[in-house]
Amino acid sequence: MTESAGYLSGQLLIAMPQMRDPRFQRAVIYMCVHNTNGAMGLVVNRLAGSLTFPDLLQQLNIDSDNLKQSIRVHFGGPVESGRGFVLHSSDFKETGTTVVPGGLALTATIDILKAIAQGGGPKRCMLALGYAGWGPKQLDGELQANAWLSVPADEELVFDGDLESKWERSLGKIGIAPKNLLGLSGDAGHA
Residue 94 has pLDDT above 60, yes or no: yes
3-class secondary structure, 114: helix
* Domain contains 158: yes
In a domain, 26, yes or no: yes
Residue-wise pLDDT for 171-189, tens only, equals: 998 888 766 665 554 444 3
| Domain hosting residue 109, numbered range | 11-181
DSSP class of residue 138 equals H
In angstroms, the CA 176 to CA 179 distance is: 8
Task: Specify the pTM.
Answer: 0.89
Domain assignment of residue 189, yes or no:
no
Q: How far is CA 172 from the centre of its chain?
A: 18
Q: CA-CA distance, 12 to 72, in Å (whole number)?
A: 20
pLDDT in the model for residue 182: 58
Name the residue with higher pLDDT: 179 or 60. Answer: 60
2 occurs within a structural domain: no
Q: Is 187 a member of any domain?
A: no
pLDDT score for 181: 63
Q: Among positive and negative, which fits the CA dihedral 149, 155, 158, 163?
A: negative
- pLDDT given at position 105: 97
As for how many domains the chain has, the answer is: 1
The per-residue pLDDT for 20 is: 87
In this prediction, what percent of the chain has a pLDDT beyond 90? Answer: 68
- Residue 191 included in any domain: no
79: domain CATH number? 3.40.1740.10
